[in-house]
Amino acid sequence: MKLDTTVENACMTVRLSGRLAVDAAPVLEELIDHQLANIKELILDFGGVDYVSSVGLRAILKAQQKMKDLHGSLQLKNVTKPIADLFEMTGLDRILHFERKPRTLSIDGLELIAKGANGECYKIDEETVVKLYFDFVKEASALKEKELAKQAFVAGVPTPISFDVVECGNRRGILYEMIKADTLSKYIEKNVDRLDAVVEMYVTFCKQIHSIVPTTNIFPDAVTLACGYVDACEFFNDRQRAFLKDRLLLTQRQGTLIHWDLHPGNIMMQGDSLCLIDMGDMAVGTPYFDLGQIKQVLHYYAGLGLCYKFTGLGDANAMRVWEKFVASYFDHPDSEALAVIEENIDFYRAIKNVFLYLCNSGGETMRSRRKDFIFQMLPKEFAQLK
Ligand SMILES: Nc1ncnc2c1ncn2[C@@H]1O[C@H](COP(=O)(O)OP(=O)(O)OP(=O)(O)O)[C@@H](O)[C@H]1O
Ligand SMILES: [Mg+2]
HEC string of the chain?
Answer: CEEEEEEECCEEEEEEEEEECCCCHHHHHHHHHHCCCCCCEEEEEEEEEEEECHHHHHHHHHHHHHHHHCCCEEEEEEECHHHHHHHHHHCHHHCCCEEECCEECCCCCCEEEEECCCEEEEECCCCEEEEEECCCCCHHHHHHHHHHHHHHHHCCCCCCCEEEEEEECCEEEEEEECCCCEEHHHHHHHCHHHHHHHHHHHHHHHHHHCCCCCCCCCCCEHHHHHHHHHHHCCCCCHHHHHHHHHHHHCCCCCCCEECCCCCHHHEEEECCEEEECCCCCCEECCHHHHHHHHHHHHHHHHHCCCHHHHHCCCHHHHHHHHHHHHHHHCCCCCHHHHHHHHHHHHHHHHHHHHHHHHCCCCHHHHHHHHHHHHHHHCCHHHHHCC
Tell me the pLDDT tens digit for each residue of 2-24. Answer: 889 999 989 999 999 999 988 87
Cβ of 262 below 6 Å from ligand 1: no
Please state the atom number of ligand 1 nearest to the C-alpha of residue 266. Answer: 17
* First-last CA distance in the chain: 61
Task: Kindly tell me if the per-residue pLDDT of 282 is higher than 80.
Answer: yes
Residue 303's nearest CA partner among 377, 211, 209 is: 377
Q: Is the pLDDT of residue 334 over 90?
A: yes
Segment among 64-73, 157-166, 356-365, 367-376 with least mean pLDDT: 356-365
162-168/171-177 β-pairing: antiparallel
Is the CB of 192 inside a 6 Å radius of any atom of ligand 1? Answer: no
Distances (CA, A) of 237 to 57, 306, 380: 52, 31, 16
Determine the pLDDT at residue 249.
92
CA of 370 to the centre of ligand 2 (A): 20
| Mean pLDDT in residue range 292-318 | 95
Ligand 1 contacts CB of residue 181 (under 6 A): no
Q: Which of 15-19, 21-25, 340-344, 378-382 has the lowest mean pLDDT?
A: 21-25
Give yes or no for residue 254 having a pLDDT over 80: no
| CA–CA dist 279, 262 (Å, integer) | 9
**pLDDT for 360:** 82
**What percent of the chain shows pLDDT beyond 70?**
100
117, 105 contact by CB (below 8 A): no
Among 69-73, 136-140, 177-181, name the one with the lowest average pLDDT: 136-140
Average pLDDT, the chain: 93
Measured from the Cα of 310, ligand 1's closest atom is: 25
Give the mean pLDDT of 359-374: 84
Cα 165 to Cα 176: distance, rounded to the nearest angstrom: 10
**Which domains does the chain possess?**
2-100 (3.30.750.24), 111-177 (3.30.200.20), 182-384 (3.90.1200.10)
User: How far does residue 184's CA lie from ligand 2's centre (Å)?
Assistant: 12
Task: Using the atom order of ligand 1, give the atom closest to the CA of residue 312.
Answer: 29
Q: How far does the centroid of ligand 2 lie from the alpha carbon of residue 233, in Å?
A: 25
Task: Read off the pLDDT of each residue in 352-358 and give the average, rounded to a whole number.
Answer: 94
Question: What are 205-223's pLDDT values in tens digits?
Answer: 999 999 999 988 899 999 9
The answer, yes or no, to whether residue 100 has pLDDT greater than 90, is: no
Ligand nearest to the CA of 119: 1
Per-residue pLDDT band for 317 (boundaries 50, 70, 90) equals: very high
Predicted confidence at residue 118, as pLDDT, reads 87
Instruction: Please tell me if the CB atom of residue 179 comes closer than 6 angstroms to any atom of ligand 1.
Output: yes
Contacts (Cβ under 8 Å, ≥6 apart) of 104: 166, 167, 168
The answer, yes or no, to whether residue 273 has pLDDT greater than 90, is: yes
- Give percent above pLDDT 90 in the chain: 77
CA distance 257 to 220: 10
Average pLDDT over residues 167-187: 94
Atom 1 in ligand 1: residue holding the nearest Cα: 178
β-pairing verdict for 283-284 and 267-270? unpaired
Band (pLDDT 50/70/90 cuts) for residue 137 is: confident
Check residue 175 and give its pLDDT.
Answer: 94
Q: Which residues pair with 3 in a beta bridge?
A: 16
Report the 10 Å Cβ neighbour count for 363: 9
pLDDT of res. 219:
95
Residue owning the nearest CA to atom 31 of ligand 1 = 114
Q: Is 178 in the pocket of ligand 1 (CB under 6 A)?
A: yes
